[in-house]
Amino acid sequence: MKRIAILGSTGSIGVNTLKVISHFPDRFRVIGLTTNSNIELLSKQIKEFKPRFVCVSDNKAGFALRKKLNTANTKLFIGAQGLEALVSIKDIDKIVLAISGAAALLPLLKALERGKEVALANKEALVMAGPLIMDLARKKKTKIIPVDSEQSAIWQCLGEEPRSRLKHIYLTASGGPFRTVSPAALKSISISTVLRHPKWKMGKKISVDSATLMNKGLELLETMFLFGIPSEKIKILIHPQALIHSMVEFIDGIVLAQLSSTDMRIPIQYALSYPQRISNSLPVIDFYKLQELHFAKPDFKRFPCLNLAYRAARELGTMPCVLNAANEVVVSEFLGKRLGFISIPKVIERVMDRHRSKLSPHLSDILAADKWAREEAYKAIRAI
Ligand code: NAD
Ligand code: MG
């Protein structure tokens, strides 16, 4: 029996993780759940899964829950410190990190410091502080198991093969909702069309990132840091069917790919059950019906966020953190209807142009770069 805590249990990955867990009551027990402020859904999850510990990061929502929660069986933590306290609880065997954005960084570092095994869905923390995170995991001899479908695929295909035998990674991308939309039409794109991803149903932030292809840019950096692979060896490949979740090409020309139906519960289940595989009733690919697989080169002109991510991957230091922070601001401004879709890459580029990357940054440098980039992004938006 593995005792699992899910950080960000009220989000898309969190809810899917609970769906997986509910099928295997004799293998997994939910011991901790957290949300930023969605106490309505958290309350339902508490009733169903009876976790011993919960945390609400937002203070106001936390105090509102305290008024109605029966704390005899469930201990409630509140705020950022509360989240760190929950992560440190001895009885937790595995932490699923499904908080979106930079807010995942400190809880992730705390979890690793405590030697916890982490099933990592969040990509922004790795983009911000990949080398720090991976060093800490090595030092504490703990595992980071990828949940993001592409990273799970690469991890499974790489196996124990030494990096010297690797030629390329093909990081696949569905291409998002605007793969075939003309550049002119991108100027007047609405929020609802951005959020309607053709293949995946996800949280709002990652849906916007999928439409700009910044999601793939963030995954380029995620892949680099998670597996220690330079960006020149990572090729982004458009694959609209989203059945191949990525491929690894070795020096002898052999390519291994991981395929499964387009359903996040599959990589989530493997991240929970690893090193075992458990039989389930999730959808499978019908290859007789499928017949063909399609691929294309990404269009870097139409999706400039890809170039920005490769640039951050070359410059390294604090630049990936700056890319991520500026992107979080523009995505939230776009969702608030204060910024047009095509301005997204322009603002990020402006912030990156103004940044002098600090190499081998400490955590304090990363947090300072994150704060600086957010302020610069707001300035750049005002200047548009
Ligand atoms: P979401 O927006 O649906 O959910 C985010 C969760 O994090 C919620 O529970 C929310 O309450 C919590 N949260 C948000 N801000 C917080 C804060 N400041 N402090 C504490 N908790 C906070 O997001 P999602 O789509 O589930 O994605 C989560 C992460 O997983 C992201 O980093 C995303 O890139 C990654 N990911 C998601 C998918 C997917 O299919 N949704 C696939 C691959 C990777
Ligand atoms: Mg992905």
Report the pLDDT value the prediction gives residue 297, as an integer from 0 to 100.
Answer: 97
Closest ligand relative to 124 C-alpha: 1
CATH superfamily for 2-146 is NAD(P)-binding Rossmann-like Domain (3.40.50.720)
Closest ligand relative to 202 C-alpha: 1
CA 306–ligand 1 middle distance (angstroms): 22
Residues around ligand 2, an ion, CB closer than 5 A: 148-150
Atom number of ligand 1 nearest to Cα 202: 41
CA 184–ligand 1 middle distance (angstroms): 31
CA 170–ligand 2 middle distance (angstroms): 13
Residue nearest (by alpha carbon) to ligand 1 atom 42: 148
Architecture in CATH for domain 316-384? Orthogonal Bundle (1.10)
Pocket of ligand 1 (CB under 6 A): 8-14, 35-36, 38, 57, 98-101, 103, 121-124, 148, 200, 202-203, 205-206, 264
CA 132–ligand 1 middle distance (angstroms): 21
Alpha-carbon distance of 122 to 98, in angstroms, equals 6
Alpha-carbon distance of 126 to 134, in angstroms, equals 9
| Ligand 1 pocket mutation pick from 58, 97, 99, 220 by most atoms within 8 angstroms of CB | 99
Which of 311, 286, 290 has its CA nearest to residue 300? 311
Asked, colleague to colleague, whether 2-146 and 316-384 share their fold, the answer is no
Residue nearest (by alpha carbon) to ligand 1 atom 32: 122
Closest ligand relative to 245 C-alpha: 2
Alpha-carbon distance of 18 to 36, in angstroms, equals 17
pTM: 0.97
Report the pLDDT value the prediction gives residue 47, as an integer from 0 to 100.
Answer: 96
Report the pLDDT value the prediction gives residue 160, as an integer from 0 to 100.
Answer: 93
Domain ranges of the chain: 2-146, 148-298, 316-384
Own/partner contacts of 271-276, CB < 8 Å, gap of 24 or more, are 271/96, 271/119, 271/145, 271/146, 271/147, 271/152, 272/2, 272/4, 272/17, 272/20, 272/21, 272/28, 272/94, 272/96, 272/119, 273/27, 274/145
Atom number of ligand 1 nearest to Cα 123: 32
Closest ligand relative to 147 C-alpha: 1
- Strand 94-97 to strand 234-238: parallel, antiparallel, or no bridges (unpaired)? unpaired
Report the pLDDT value the prediction gives residue 196, as an integer from 0 to 100.
Answer: 87
Task: Flag residues of the chain having pLDDT under 50.
Answer: none
Report the pLDDT value the prediction gives residue 183, as an integer from 0 to 100.
Answer: 86
Atom number of ligand 1 nearest to Cα 215: 34
Residue nearest (by alpha carbon) to ligand 1 atom 25: 203
CA 123–ligand 2 middle distance (angstroms): 9
